[in-house]
Amino acid sequence: MTTLTIISKPDCHLCDVAREIIEQVTAELPEGAVDIEEFSILDDKALYDQWWEKIPVVLIDDRLHAHWRLSAERLRTALDTAHDKEQT
């Protein structure tokens, strides 16, 4: 299973947009293909120190995929690729 992590904070417009894109793209995938987790930089000092000026940050299997703005097309391609690798 692919893990998608979003690092965000409350009241962040770009974070809201990223969540919507993630929901849209993952809805197109087979059920259970992606495990989505979200962490707030306000709840974790280490995350804050690392990412505060780049949120929202999207990681796929703990690797940086995007920050600031998320592209639905690029995310779809990355998740399809990750899913295909798991199938082989």
Q: What is the pLDDT along the chain (88 residues), one digit of tens a residue?
A: 899 999 999 999 999 999 999 999 999 998 889 999 999 999 999 999 999 999 999 999 999 999 999 999 999 999 988 877 777 6
C-alpha distances out from residue 64 to 6, 30, 47, 87, 88, Å: 10, 23, 13, 22, 23
Burial of 23 (0-12, 13-18, 19+ CB in 10 A): exposed
Q: CA–CA separation, 2 vs 66, rounded Å?
A: 16
Could you tell me the sign of the dihedral formed by the alpha carbons of 71, 75, 76, 81, in that order? positive
What are the structural domains of the chain? 2-87 (3.40.30.10)
The structure's pTM equals: 0.92
